[in-house]
Structure 1
Amino acid sequence: MSAREVVRAYHDARFRGAVEEAAALVGEPFSFRSPFISSADPAGHLAGLEGFLRVVTEVEMISELYGEAEATLVYDVHTATPAAIQRTAEHFRLRDGKISSIMLIFDAAPWQPMAAAIR
């Protein structure tokens, strides 16, 4: 599968709540970094997904950039929270057809008071 196919399959599975499907696209070694968590566990970085998806009302893709072994997605996550819309950038690196690293970038300030409630 191409970088585009792997990353879009991961993105779509994650926002459907299909944790096992998303985790199957992640290889080892793996690293994940976001303003809230860091993880080397291919499935562990998805642990709080269910709580987060309870507040997501829509995901609106803004831009998709693909290289041979990397990708960057920019999208808005619409939520039923005081944070409302979260602009998000996500950079992926791939190795051997699997995602080897994800760097998730967003302004975490609006989420600080709500973090415990959505975990």
Structure 2
Amino acid sequence: MTTATTVRAYHQARFRGDLPTAAAQLGPGFTFRSPLVTSDSPTGHLDGLDGLLSIVTDVEMISELYGEDEATLVYDVHTASPVGTQRTAEHFRLTDGRITSILLIFDASPWHAIMAAAGLGGRQG
């Protein structure tokens, strides 16, 4: 599989809520970093995805950049929440055709009040 095939499969599965397919794209030694969640578990970063997906109304791809063993996606996540639309960049590293790290970049400040009201803090999983 190519980098584009693997990353697209992960991205689409994640936003469909298809956790087994998303997790199947992840390789050994996987790490995930975002402003709100840090995980060294291939599935730990997907925990709680149902909560996010319950407020996502659309995902609009802006740009996809692919290299041999890395990719960057830039997209807008439209939500039915006070956050509204969240501009997001996501950088992937791959080893042997599987995703070994994801760095998710976005302005987390609008999410802090929502997470505090829900009794949630940043997660490590």
In structure 2, the residue matched to 1:83 is: 83
Give the deviation of 1:118 after TM superposition.
Answer: 9.3
Give the deviation of 1:34 after TM superposition.
Answer: 0.2
TM-score normalised over the length of structure 2: 0.92
TM-score normalised over the length of structure 1: 0.97
- The alignment of Structure 1 onto Structure 2 pairs a total of residues equal to 119
State the alpha-carbon separation in 1 of the partners of residues 43 and 21 from structure 2: 10
State the alpha-carbon separation in 2 of the partners of residues 19 and 113 from structure 1: 27
Tell whether the 8 Å contact from 1:52 to 1:118 is kept in structure 2 after alignment: no
Give the deviation of 1:114 after TM superposition.
Answer: 1.1
In structure 2, the residue matched to 1:33 is: 33
Tell whether the 8 Å contact from 1:31 to 1:102 is kept in structure 2 after alignment: yes
In structure 2, the residue matched to 1:9 is: 9
**Structure 2 counterparts to residues 37-76 of structure 1, below 5 A:** 37-76=37-76
CA displacement 1:71-104 (0-9 Å, x = unmatched): 0000000000011000000000000110000000
Give the deviation of 1:113 after TM superposition.
Answer: 1.0
Give the deviation of 1:20 after TM superposition.
Answer: 1.0
Instruction: Among all aligned residue pairs of Structure 1 and Structure 2, give the percentage whose two residues are the same amino acid.
Output: 64
State the alpha-carbon separation in 2 of the partners of residues 118 and 7 from structure 1: 32
Structure 2 unaligned runs (5+)? 121-125
Moved over 4 A (4+): none
State the alpha-carbon separation in 1 of the partners of residues 3 and 56 from structure 2: 26
State the alpha-carbon separation in 1 of the partners of residues 34 and 119 from structure 2: 16
